[in-house]
């Protein structure tokens, strides 16, 4: 039934329920309204997950850092607003350059391996803010957490087992440095547990960042030290090396064999894109191939196979709330070609220049991170 005030039709406020709790009243641009949230793909209530995991935070924007073109490594940072598909150049923010890199990220900060240039290894970490993409600190030295329990929260760390190295805390030096040099390694985030796992790339031991204290711990041997890619979900972290597949169960910090996860005939160059939708995506072939799979976060088993919008590899995979992005990749040359991956339909869409990374004429094999304005205060 339509309602009118004089000759003007009045659109009633749509009813709410548990799935729209905390939502905002939004216009659909065509005279109607719906309950939604910042960064939502649509106002369709059927797309709303009442579980707390997907809406623990609402991903609104993301970053691409580092990468390379030809033999030129970068230290740039780009920021993408997901609700408008707009990417802005944040400048040369990282402490030093790095190609074939990766990193981890918390609710507030990103941590990227830098210092190896085009093809060198490194243990150094550059950290930037997820609020605005600006550099906040980097490691030129680190301290050893050997023998100290993960998540140490004591009051006298120097005299209770944490060794601070030669530089102490001067010049923004903290405990973020990895315990070994790495290159082209897989990484994954335990988002609810607030830790980041870095493995492979030269060592089978894990460098594990405790986000609340920004201390990097070591241990948790995976049994594999090769190059690879990683992804993460609510309860597991997935790691794919050249021909080996393993996962970590976040609840007990334990590595497990492949189970139903993996088995793709691929090298390390086609990456994983993580989602909060109960599934993730992975390229199933070698570098510059078209095959892609959707696999279950709960079991690791393949749910569907489909083709990318074009053949590519060395992709910069940026997580999002309802869609993610490939922020440049390699298709025979490093480029800024950007693709949106819609999580509800497995659809890849080629994006225009406004969404592409800026500042350089191509980049691949960089490190991406994602932020939530509700946590970061909506700034940046």
Instruction: Report pLDDT digits (tens) over 83-102.
Output: 999 999 999 999 899 999 99
User: How far, in Å, are 237, 241, 262, 277, 285 from residue 291 at the CA level?
Assistant: 22, 17, 14, 21, 6
Please tell me the distance from the alpha carbon of residue 70 to that of residue 375, in angstroms, as a whole number: 37
| 275: CB partners within 8 A, 6+ apart | 233, 281, 297, 319, 320, 324, 343
pLDDT tens figures, 283-323: 999 999 999 999 999 999 999 999 999 999 999 999 999 99
| Among 167-176, 270-279, 301-310, the least confident range | 167-176
- 8 A C-beta contact, residue 201 and residue 182: yes
Beta bridge partners of 324: 341
pLDDT at 56: 85
Range list for CATH 2.120.10.80 in the chain: 61-376
> Which of 315, 265, 310 lies closest to 289, judged by CA?
310
- Structure tokens belonging to residue 339: 């693709």
- 8 A C-beta contact, residue 368 and residue 317: yes
Evaluated on CA atoms 201, 112, 194, 292, the torsion sign reads: negative
Greater pLDDT, 188 or 17 = 188
User: How far, in Å, are 94, 287, 310, 314, 364 from residue 332 at the CA level?
Assistant: 27, 9, 12, 10, 11
pLDDT at 162: 62
Please tell me the distance from the alpha carbon of residue 267 to that of residue 270, in angstroms, as a whole number: 7
| 329: CB partners within 8 A, 6+ apart | 312, 313, 314, 315, 316, 335, 337, 339, 364
pLDDT tens figures, 19-50: 555 566 777 667 777 776 544 444 443 344 44
Please tell me the distance from the alpha carbon of residue 191 to that of residue 61, in angstroms, as a whole number: 16
Please tell me the distance from the alpha carbon of residue 174 to that of residue 252, in angstroms, as a whole number: 27
Helix, coil or strand: residue 373: helix
Mean pLDDT over each residue of the chain, to the nearest integer: 85
Report residue 47: phi and psi, to 5°. -85, -5
Q: Would you state the CATH architecture of domain 61-376?
A: 6 Propeller (2.120)
Instruction: Provide the pLDDT confidence category of residue 357 given band limits of 50, 70 and 90.
Output: very high
Please tell me the distance from the alpha carbon of residue 259 to that of residue 261, in angstroms, as a whole number: 5
Please tell me the distance from the alpha carbon of residue 228 to that of residue 329, in angstroms, as a whole number: 16
Beta bridge partners of 78: 64, 89
Do strands 254-256 and 195-198 pair parallel, antiparallel, or not at all (unpaired)? unpaired
Please tell me the distance from the alpha carbon of residue 227 to that of residue 113, in angstroms, as a whole number: 14
Mean pLDDT of 201-216: 88
> Which of 134, 227, 113 lies closest to 177, judged by CA?
113
DSSP 237: E
pLDDT at 28: 67
> Which of 10, 7, 38, 6 lies closest to 25, judged by CA?
38
Greater pLDDT, 148 or 158 = 148
Please tell me the distance from the alpha carbon of residue 170 to that of residue 86, in angstroms, as a whole number: 37
Mean pLDDT of 115-138: 89
- 8 A C-beta contact, residue 61 and residue 80: yes
Please tell me the distance from the alpha carbon of residue 369 to that of residue 107, in angstroms, as a whole number: 10
Instruction: Provide the pLDDT confidence category of residue 107 given band limits of 50, 70 and 90.
Output: very high
């Amino acid at each position: 039934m339509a309602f009118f005030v004089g000759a003007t039709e009045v659109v009633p406020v749509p009813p709410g329920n548990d799935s729209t709790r905390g939502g905002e009243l939004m216009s659909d641009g065509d005279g109607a309204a719906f309950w939604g949230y910042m960064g939502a793909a649509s106002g369709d209530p059927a797309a709303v997950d009442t579980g707390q995991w997907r809406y623990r935070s609402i991903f609104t924007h993301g970053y691409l850092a580092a990468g390379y073109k030809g033999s030129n490594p970068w230290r740039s940072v780009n920021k993408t607003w997901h609700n408008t598909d707009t990417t802005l150049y944040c400048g040369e923010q990282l402490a030093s350059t790095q190609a074939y890199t990766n990193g981890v990220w918390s609710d507030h900060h990103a941590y990227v391996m830098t210092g190896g240039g085009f093809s060198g290894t490194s243990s150094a970490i550059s950290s930037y803010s997820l609020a605005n993409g600006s550099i906040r600190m980097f490691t030129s030295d680190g301290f050893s957490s050997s023998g100290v329990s993960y998540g140490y929260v004591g009051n006298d760390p120097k005299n209770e087992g944490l060794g601070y190295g030669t530089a102490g805390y001067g010049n923004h030096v903290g405990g973020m440095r990895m315990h070994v040099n790495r290159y082209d390694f897989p990484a994954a985030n335990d988002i609810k547990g607030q830790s980041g796992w870095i493995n492979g790339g030269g060592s089978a031991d894990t460098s594990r960042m405790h986000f609340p204290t920004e201390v990097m711990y070591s241990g948790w041997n995976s049994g594999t030290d090769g190059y690879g890619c990683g992804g993460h979900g609510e309860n597991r972290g997935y790691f794919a090396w050249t021909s080996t597949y393993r996962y970590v169960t976040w609840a007990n910090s334990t590595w497990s064999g492949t189970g139903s996860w993996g088995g793709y005939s691929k090298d390390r160059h086609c990456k994983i894109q993580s989602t909060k939708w109960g599934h993730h995506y992975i390229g199933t072939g070698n570098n510059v191939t078209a095959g892609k799979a959707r696999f279950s976060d709960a079991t690791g088993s393949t749910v569907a196979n489909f083709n990318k919008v074009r053949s590519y590899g060395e992709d910069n995979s940026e997580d999002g709330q309802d869609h993610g992005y490939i922020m440049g990749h390699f298709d025979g040359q490093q480029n800024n070609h950007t693709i949106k991956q819609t999580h509800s339909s497995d659809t890849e869409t080629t994006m225009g220049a406004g969404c592409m990374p800026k500042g350089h004429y191509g980049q691949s094999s960089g490190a991406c991170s994602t932020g939530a304005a509700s946590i970061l205060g909506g700034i940046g």
